[in-house]
Chains A and B, each alone.
Chain A
């Protein structure tokens, strides 16, 4: 039988805190962050094979941004809504993991504030 190696913590379940140990898996769990509509993330791991927009471009909703090839399928990533391209975080030929930030967007109003 395994002897616990880690330390006891105060663990809140509803209004009460319990002394307990954490599991390895719990300690390494992904912490949730509020997703921003202005960030385009990859939904599958793959390779960027084409980028069709440039930073600073105003791009119409539905226009192709880039092509992400994954599992022998060329996925066309489209503009989610009309906005400006703030920053492109990937390069053609780059291999990326699932959930990688590919493109950042901003609305034209933000432009005037800068």
Chain B
């Protein structure tokens, strides 16, 4: 009988803490268009799979009126659960509890669940909705942040780490998401910045809204800090579920395969690409003719749109796609698109996901802004990431493969396992116009009709070199293939490289051009 009394007492205690900051604070949270921390966790995880830990943890601050002040769960909910059956660790900051502010115990709950994730070898999902450091706790809060960053770094490349920004995430707090693999943002809800509008106004007198400074769209399109952008929290949660289903639990495993499906796209792969190399098309149409069910989960969809990266399945197995996008900036490589591709390649390599590269690019983006922004060191990241990767690497050259871009986009010379070219491929040191102008400079200048001679020489160069057969004759590409054969060939290449082994010199770690 007495035990029942204890159980009832427990239930009562739990009910109070599970209310977070109380009815009034919850009302306010909902009025801001936001879900509560608990509802968010329940919406992401499979029904009835969430198990919470450290519900009764309390802060130990005694100064600034904090003595005796009870904060439900110290402002953060932590636990484990499953997403479509896949186990995950998860935490959500609770904005209704003292603005979700981070104190030492709040941080220790987070680091504890991160430690779990690292030992259990399962992904860790963090939902950020916090006003920042709990000022009353002073340096204790800073210590807390530091301990989180350290674990983000230790877990990097071992387990997938996902950050979901569903409220403010400002100052030092932004660095945990920045250290994780994928950052999700939601329109009107996510706000990320190092120094907020108030400080900027005080220092500069410049007025800018939180949304314009560090809203969801800004990070999804301009800064590249966010990988996935959604218009609502529910759309965001669906993106998280889709991503989790495509990636492995840890670096020691492969992503779970599902039943193979045929591509759904009815587009004729031979008709997507215009024959004129100067005309654009959407390379995602090509990807959709290749993947199972034509599904493609694009990462960084809005940022650096001149390259496309993302996950799809082939015969049920996850593959990563890196594809030049002629639709934007002619598909040139630049600072941002190099960062985007390099980072994605490193994720795939760390988590045993084969990489398929679709190439159609005229070179690097010309411009003073690019040169001064360091396109050399940024561009080098692509070379580094491809060379370093030991997962199966396959390249299909669709059309243009000129100069440095040809080398960078997973060429044989950087260790590609298979490279194929469509008959429309132009593998050359530069575009025909540029090359003819240099090689035949004298003939063109001495001709009576310069333009006619230039045209003639350009055509000569196109006939001789703007094709895949020169590269094929040297064995730099493994074959020239018909576009319609692409999927079958990729499936075969992936199949035969399943047990690929490759070795790198022993080292502590490389020094990529960060």
Residues of chain B lying within 8 A (CB to CB) of residue A17: 278
The contact string, 1 if C-beta is below 8 Å from chain B, for chain A 1-30, is 110100010011111111111111110011
Determine if B433 and A32 form an interchain contact, defined as CB atoms under 8 angstroms apart: no
Once bound together, how far apart are the Cα atoms of A95 and B434, in whole Å? 49
Evaluate whether A20 and B329 lie within 8 angstroms (CB atoms) in the complex, with A15-B433, A25-B221, A25-B336 already known. yes
Evaluate whether A20 and B328 lie within 8 angstroms (CB atoms) in the complex, with A13-B362, A15-B437 already known. yes
Determine if B372 and A23 form an interchain contact, defined as CB atoms under 8 angstroms apart: no
- Going nearest first, the 3 A-B pairs with the smallest beta carbon separation are A15-B433, A18-B330, A32-B368
A45 interfacial contact with B, CB 8 Å: yes
Determine if B278 and A14 form an interchain contact, defined as CB atoms under 8 angstroms apart: no
Once bound together, how far apart are the Cα atoms of A4 and B278, in whole Å? 18
Determine if B221 and A2 form an interchain contact, defined as CB atoms under 8 angstroms apart: no
Which chain A residues in 61-93 approach chain B with CB under 8 Å?
70
Residues of chain A lying within 8 A (CB to CB) of residue B204: 45, 95-97
B485 interfacial contact with A, CB 8 Å: no
* A32 nearest CB across to chain B (Å): 4
Once bound together, how far apart are the Cα atoms of A12 and B279, in whole Å? 13
Evaluate whether A16 and B362 lie within 8 angstroms (CB atoms) in the complex, with A4-B327, A26-B329, A29-B369 already known. yes
* A6 nearest CB across to chain B (Å): 10
Residues of chain B lying within 8 A (CB to CB) of residue A11: 329-330
B366 interfacial contact with A, CB 8 Å: yes
Determine if B434 and A16 form an interchain contact, defined as CB atoms under 8 angstroms apart: yes
The contact string, 1 if C-beta is below 8 Å from chain A, for chain B 87-113, is 000000000000000000000000000
Determine if B366 and A13 form an interchain contact, defined as CB atoms under 8 angstroms apart: yes
* A25 nearest CB across to chain B (Å): 6
Determine if A18 and B222 form an interchain contact, defined as CB atoms under 8 angstroms apart: no
Residues of chain A lying within 8 A (CB to CB) of residue B326: 18, 20
Which chain A residues in 98-113 approach chain B with CB under 8 Å?
none
Once bound together, how far apart are the Cα atoms of A19 and B327, in whole Å? 8
Determine if B278 and A18 form an interchain contact, defined as CB atoms under 8 angstroms apart: yes
Residues of chain B lying within 8 A (CB to CB) of residue A45: 203-204
B365 interfacial contact with A, CB 8 Å: yes
Q: Which of B298, B304, B305, B369 has the most CB of A within 10 A?
A: B305
B38 interfacial contact with A, CB 8 Å: no
Residues of B within 8 A of A (CB): 203-206, 221-222, 277-280, 284, 298, 301-302, 304-306, 326-332, 336, 362-363, 365-369, 372, 430-434, 437
How large, as a class, is the contact surface on chain A? 20 to 34
Once bound together, how far apart are the Cα atoms of A95 and B199, in whole Å? 13
Once bound together, how far apart are the Cα atoms of A2 and B327, in whole Å? 12
Determine if A20 and B330 form an interchain contact, defined as CB atoms under 8 angstroms apart: yes
Which chain A residues in 37-72 approach chain B with CB under 8 Å?
45-47, 70
**Smallest Cβ-Cβ distance to B302: which chain A residue:** A2
Contact of B203 among A4, A14, A30, A95 (CB under 8 A): A95
Evaluate whether A20 and B205 lie within 8 angstroms (CB atoms) in the complex, with A11-B329, A30-B369 already known. no
Determine if A21 and B327 form an interchain contact, defined as CB atoms under 8 angstroms apart: yes
Evaluate whether A18 and B284 lie within 8 angstroms (CB atoms) in the complex, with A25-B222, A32-B368, A45-B204 already known. no
* A26 nearest CB across to chain B (Å): 6
Besides A18-B277, A22-B329, A32-B372, 6 more A-B contacts (Cβ < 8 Å) are A2-B302, A14-B433, A16-B431, A16-B433, A18-B326, A30-B369
Residues of chain B lying within 8 A (CB to CB) of residue A97: 204, 206
Residues of chain B lying within 8 A (CB to CB) of residue A16: 278, 362, 431-434
Residues of A within 8 A of B (CB): 1-2, 4, 8, 11-26, 29-32, 45-47, 70, 95-97
* B297 nearest CB across to chain A (Å): 11
Report 18 cross-chain contacts, Cβ distance below 8 Å, ordered by A residue. Answer: A1-B301, A2-B302, A13-B366, A15-B431, A15-B437, A16-B278, A16-B431, A16-B434, A18-B326, A19-B278, A20-B329, A23-B306, A25-B221, A26-B329, A45-B203, A45-B204, A47-B203, A95-B204
Determine if A14 and B366 form an interchain contact, defined as CB atoms under 8 angstroms apart: yes
* B76 nearest CB across to chain A (Å): 32
Residues of chain B lying within 8 A (CB to CB) of residue A23: 304-306, 328-329
* A59 nearest CB across to chain B (Å): 27
Q: Which of A13, A22, A23 has the most CB of B within 10 A?
A: A13
Contact of B431 among A14, A19, A29, A70 (CB under 8 A): A14
Residues of chain A lying within 8 A (CB to CB) of residue B205: 95
Determine if B362 and A18 form an interchain contact, defined as CB atoms under 8 angstroms apart: yes
Evaluate whether A14 and B329 lie within 8 angstroms (CB atoms) in the complex, with A19-B278, A32-B369 already known. no
Residues of chain A lying within 8 A (CB to CB) of residue B362: 13-14, 16, 18
* B137 nearest CB across to chain A (Å): 24
Contact of B222 among A22, A24, A32 (CB under 8 A): A24
Contact of A20 among B206, B280, B432, B433 (CB under 8 A): B280
Determine if B372 and A13 form an interchain contact, defined as CB atoms under 8 angstroms apart: no
* A55 nearest CB across to chain B (Å): 24
Determine if B434 and A1 form an interchain contact, defined as CB atoms under 8 angstroms apart: no
**Smallest Cβ-Cβ distance to A47: which chain B residue:** B203
* A64 nearest CB across to chain B (Å): 22
**Smallest Cβ-Cβ distance to A94: which chain B residue:** B205
Residues of chain B lying within 8 A (CB to CB) of residue A22: 328-329
Evaluate whether A13 and B369 lie within 8 angstroms (CB atoms) in the complex, with A8-B280, A21-B280, A25-B336 already known. no
**Smallest Cβ-Cβ distance to B326: which chain A residue:** A20
**Smallest Cβ-Cβ distance to B405: which chain A residue:** A13
Once bound together, how far apart are the Cα atoms of A19 and B329, in whole Å? 9
Once bound together, how far apart are the Cα atoms of A47 and B332, in whole Å? 41
Once bound together, how far apart are the Cα atoms of A13 and B365, in whole Å? 7
**Smallest Cβ-Cβ distance to A29: which chain B residue:** B369
Once bound together, how far apart are the Cα atoms of A51 and B205, in whole Å? 20
Evaluate whether A13 and B332 lie within 8 angstroms (CB atoms) in the complex, with A18-B278, A24-B221, A32-B369 already known. yes
